Amino acid sequence: MSLIGDYLGAAPTSKDALWARASMLVVAQYITAPADQGVGGHRWSACVVTAPDGEAYVGTMHNGGVPGNPAPAKFQSCVVSGSGTGVGIVSCDHAHRIEILGWLQVSDQMVADGTLVLPPPAQIQQSCVDLARSVTGADDPTYGGQLRISARPLTWVATDPPLPGSSAVAVPDCFGELVGEGELVGTVMGLGDAPLPVG
């Protein structure tokens, strides 16, 4: 695991797992001190993570999303409906109804074979529910039926090289979708058994 991954507290995803946990949206930079802030040939350096929008963030991202320590919503992936039938990925500090919990891992072998070999739909759905339980830290990841856990395509994934007949394929995403009125105004990653952030 990388230094950034260690700092964020992201559990490594097994290459054999069906899903990869949705990672925090950060920009990582390696910075060094200006020449006038060194002694001899030695200067300080730092590994820095910032918000992808470049705006200031007050707080820490350390272990964000680890169960019992909700992730900062600014750094999680949520979905809003666009014009027509399109969707857009935004940070979860925007009002939304869907949060991405995990991405299907398309293996190199699948791409090399030119086909997606997936388990039966019921198994995919159950593994998504299991992932939701893991990433939220909640015994009931539906929060009493307020959140629908689904495994179906939300977006198209480009593959390189492309699979035969297409440069992109629809693969399932694992996500939680608010049921009923209102919108989510935060993230469920690491929320535990606290109330859903519904506004």
pTM for the whole structure: 0.76
CA 11 vs CA 64, 67, 75: distances in Å: 11, 11, 16
Contact criterion met (CB below 8 Å) for 27 and 51: yes
pLDDT score at 129 = 96
Quote the pLDDT of residue 155.
61
- Predicted confidence at residue 184, as pLDDT, reads 95
Tell me the two tokens of residue 104: 């299907």
Helix (H) or strand (E) holding 149: strand 147-152
Q: What is the mean pLDDT of each run of 10 residues along the chain (199 residues)?
A: 65 72 79 81 81 75 68 84 63 92 80 73 93 92 96 67 55 91 92 91
- In the prediction, which pLDDT does 1 show? 46
- How wide is the angle at C-alpha 114 spanned by C-alphas 109 and 118, nearest 5°? 65
Q: Give the pLDDT score at 151.
A: 94
What are the tokens at 59? 């707080």
